[in-house]
A and B are shown apart, each in its own frame.
Chain A
Amino acid sequence: MTPDFITPVLDYLLLAPFLIVLGAACVGILVEAFVPRGGRFYTQVVVSVLGLVSALGVILWRWGSDGQGLIDPWKDNIVTGTLIIDGPAQVFWTIIFGFGLIAVISFAERRVHAGATAFTPTAAAIPGSKAESEAAQAGLIHSEIFPLALFSMAGMAMLVSANDLLMLFLGLEILSLPLYVMVGMSRHRRLVSQEAALKYFLLGAAASAIFLFGVAFLFGYSGSFAYDRLVETITFTSGGEGLLLGGIGLIGVGLLFKIGAVPFHSWVPDVYQGAPTPVTAFMSICTKAAAVGGFLRLFYVALGGFRWTWQPIFAGVAILTIFVGAIIAINQKDIKRVLAYSAITHAGFILVPLVGASTMDTGLIDGQAGSVASIMFYLVAYGFAAIGAFSIVSLVRKQGHEITDLSAWAGVGKRNPFVSVLFVIFLLSMAGIPLTAGFVGKFAAFAAAWQGGFAWLALAAILGAIIAVYIYIRVIQVMFFTEPDEGADEVELAVPGVATWIVLTVCMLGTIGLGLVPGPLLELLQNASAFIIPAK
């Protein structure tokens, strides 16, 4: 007997932001096919900016309970049962699309590259070949980067609102596949870029496989992919903890890989260094936010009842991540690698409140910032600093090429004080110095961990932060107080175009503004930090 086919009823308005981004990506592909070459680039910019702006508009328009939903999901509404749009999902969508928008604007920078973009004229040509130089001379531009980024963002959005292990996996893959391509598209040092792409792809594929294996374990444990079944099984059933533990471990590996936590971090420095700098900026915040969002929902909602088991494991990972990242960063000679290791350290700092799990369920007093809100704030603060810093990295050039050797940066601060001061502000925010957003992020994050009962973890994290401070001081020291070597005259700061100016202005206002007046945002995030927990 065949079961009746139930027509899924979709709440399109609820899904609108996600669908708009996905739709804009599809339009982008059509643009590649039908718009003549000359107008393609700007058409793509317009399409993606419009798509992201309208998606953000819809989220903000329907902010709060209006835009949240889970409408009787298990009877007649399959899709909202697998995707949940609740407060945290709305926040993470805003973070992903918002910072994605900033990154996409930085993709459009052409003045710095003398009319070209940061991306290779033709990705298919062999590096250094005749075909490549011909393409460069013909002024070809890969405008596919825009739809790729949009697809990636759609995957991220799916990841953070997945309420089902399979949706989680789908989101992870949709976000990863376009990124593998984007990483390999750098205009400068193409071999390094391609190597990074290959490395990212191979390791990412392995991580995905491990993740999927973990999904199978959890399916075996609970008999379903749905989070609510997991909750139910953990609460009411005993036995099968081996499967549960194995599943948690394997899924954890897959997500920690994307977050860039130690010991699954080895791709981060190579990929951050090899990828085109705007793509690095995009990855540093959007990928991280998405993975953290998915991680939060999975571990707080589905596996929240098993907290006592996973907290110590991830506490260890957090400490390892902070210290390994900070200590290795000190010795790096390439600014992009410095920032990459600093990104690893930040992943560790984000894990600290995550482990603390200070939420309403664990006795957080109403009106105080708990783990979820502080993680969100941290991500926003880090996002502004990271995108801003990477945008400035792409301005430092030697003979028309981006130069990322730290030694070439000597004395840049004296020659270009304005942009250098901006860079210092971004670095200080990453270091968590007061009057920047980064400080409030660190304060809220560590306080949440301590309130959740992990005082020792907060202490260790602050110890790590002391080491990490040195990373940034070292860069500032080089920029301002190191005498440049021979040939440093050739190093120059390119005059930023409109796109970069927009990015820098937004990032600076965000960093300083949230440092001075953090209250409203933190409160907003706090009110949006409750996960909808589907209950039967």
Chain B
Amino acid sequence: MAFPFLTVLGLIPLVFAVIVALSKPRAGRSIGFVGSLLTAGYAFALIAYFKMGVLSFGESVPWLPSLGSSFSLDLDGMGLVMVAITVFLVPAVLLAEWKTGVGAVGRFSSKTFVALVLLVQSFSLFTFMSFDLLVFYVFFEATLIPMYFLIGGWGGQRRGKAAAKFLIFGLAGGLIMLVGVIGTWVLTAATSAPSLGFLDLAAQDFGASPTTKLIFICFFVAFALKAPMVPGHIWLPDAASESTPGGAALMVGILDKLGTFGMIRVCIGIFPGESAWATPVILILAVISILYGAFAAIGSKNLMRLIAYTSISHFGFMVMGIFALTSQSLSGSIFYMVNHALATGALYLVIGFLITKRGSAFVDDFGGVVKIAPIAAGFTLVAGLASVALPGTAPFVSEFMAIAGTWTRYPWIAGIAVLGTVLAAVYILWTYQRIMTGPVTEATQTHITSDLSWRERLALIPLVIAILVLGFWPQPVLDEVAPTTAYYMSAASATDPGAEIEEGR
């Protein structure tokens, strides 16, 4: 058997997590940071070799043969870009949260934070790489536990309750999905070649029956709880606002993507017929999410909650693009998964720095920050405008593709969704205006005494660069994603309506 490159990729952060947990507090976070850099280096080297055609991925060993499951990992275009963004974001998060837990009395130490972040990274990498339904499920669920401790261990006053809410929603969603996994196994067990491999499942035709519909619903509900769609979103604002900014960036940027990722992998890939059956309802829910998230963000007084609500809106766009099922909208949604991690990650981190300085997350407690901390304000503006999907930033490309692609099939849905982009301008710019501009308030004066430190800038710069580069030159990612899109389009036997409509790049 060939060397298991992908397993090693998932294991590096895991091993480092263990080392960090066993090391001394001071050394721990440095070791962890080095580990995250090493993971990133290894991952990008793998991708480069893969692109050169030197390597091929794909490894599979029997894991639970009597239940049809193999430990098979592989990378398609979608998995590859998600792996890339995961290894890219984690070092930034660790750098941004460098001081979390240091010297805090009665709280958990900083090395525990780092170890948990690395655990989350390891489990998410395995989820993105898995090509077996049961393995996917196992790691999908496993991410919840370290994330639970990340929320509950460090963060706001009510973090314990928020963490419990996060875990209960997560596990409930997971168990609902378990119904789907077991049901899929029962379906495939009755065939001549029982297997839970994604490709094998996609090749099997289970027909349409109430059972397949039930299984589909279970999967979709679980993913909709994860990539929070209204009405399954209610855990997110609490979890995000009580978490540390880095934890929130990790949760919204990476973990919630598992939901949209799963919708493509499982819902479209294995149950295309049922997906088509449910599409009208899903699209309506997606549009509701877009608008609800936007309005809730406008009305939100707490910055962390505000960003959480904007994410609900953005996830609405992704889901809409996925289920509109045109190659443009699907590519756009996958690309959006990357961009959203960058934009929201950056926004969470920079706003987190300000909140730490100010000691409050409420919009009203800020004012005139731009005069004291112009660099922080600049980063906020870039990250915020990326979140609005301003042309020139990467999210613009993806959001445009998602909407334009949807337009070709469901013009009404796309038309209403466009309102979301208008509202986005309101919630970001208005917020920016309130916290950054105007006269310097007394509170700002006393609490925010310095601009971003070099460490903080260093955490943000790669993200901002990526946002801008991908904004002007999205082609590498789009090329990477194109085969995946084509695969899922053919899996769903979907064709683009009106092939004459030109690509909206």
Contacts and interface: CB of A to CB of B under 8 A. Distances in A.
Contact of B66 (A368, A442, A517): A368
Contact of B160 (A450, A466, A481, A518): A481
B90 to A, nearest CB: 20
A431 B167 CA distance: 12
A444 B159 contact: no
A285 B483 CA distance: 52
Q: For the complex, would chain A's binding face be called helix, strand, loop or mixed by DSSP majority?
A: helix
A443 B186 CA distance: 11
B138 A469 contact: no
B24 to A, nearest CB: 14
Contact of A446 (B153, B176, B182, B211): B182
B141 A451 contact: no
Interface in B116-150: 134, 137-139, 141-142, 144-145, 149
B276 interface: no
B66 A434 contact: no
Given A368-B189, A368-B194, A450-B183, A466 B172 contact: yes
Interface in B170-202: 171-172, 175-176, 178-179, 181-183, 185-186, 189, 194
A477 B160 contact: yes
Contact of B139 (A368, A417, A434, A451): A434
B106 interface: yes
B210 to A, nearest CB: 10
A528 interface: no
Contacts of B476: none
B372 interface: no
Interface string A145-175: 0000000000000000000000000000000
Given A368-B66, A433-B171, A523-B66, A439 B189 contact: no
Interface residues of A, number: 41
A519 B71 CA distance: 11
B65 interface: yes
Contacts of A482: 160
A481 B155 CA distance: 12
B63 interface: yes
Contacts of A481: 152-153, 159-160, 163-164
A462 B175 contact: yes
A433 B182 contact: no
B38 interface: no
A365 B137 CA distance: 24
A455 B179 CA distance: 9
A371 to B, nearest CB: 13
Given A414-B108, A440-B64, A519-B63, A469 B185 contact: no
A473 interface: yes
A381 to B, nearest CB: 13
B84 interface: no
B31 interface: no
A435 B152 contact: no
B137 to A, nearest CB: 7
B167 A473 contact: yes
A447 B182 CA distance: 6
Given A446-B178, A469-B171, A519 B185 contact: no
A465 B152 contact: no
A13 B467 CA distance: 74
Nearest to A467: B172
Interface string A444-467: 101100110001001100100110
28 contacts: A428-B145, A431-B171, A433-B144, A434-B139, A434-B142, A435-B138, A439-B138, A439-B141, A440-B64, A443-B134, A447-B189, A451-B186, A455-B211, A458-B182, A465-B175, A466-B175, A473-B164, A473-B168, A480-B149, A480-B153, A481-B153, A481-B160, A481-B164, A518-B64, A519-B66, A522-B64, A522-B67, A523-B66
Interface of B: 62-68, 106, 108, 112, 134, 137-139, 141-142, 144-145, 149, 152-153, 159-160, 163-164, 167-168, 171-172, 175-176, 178-179, 181-183, 185-186, 189, 194, 211
Given A462-B178, A469-B175, 7 more contacts: A373-B66, A443-B178, A446-B182, A470-B168, A473-B168, A480-B153, A518-B63
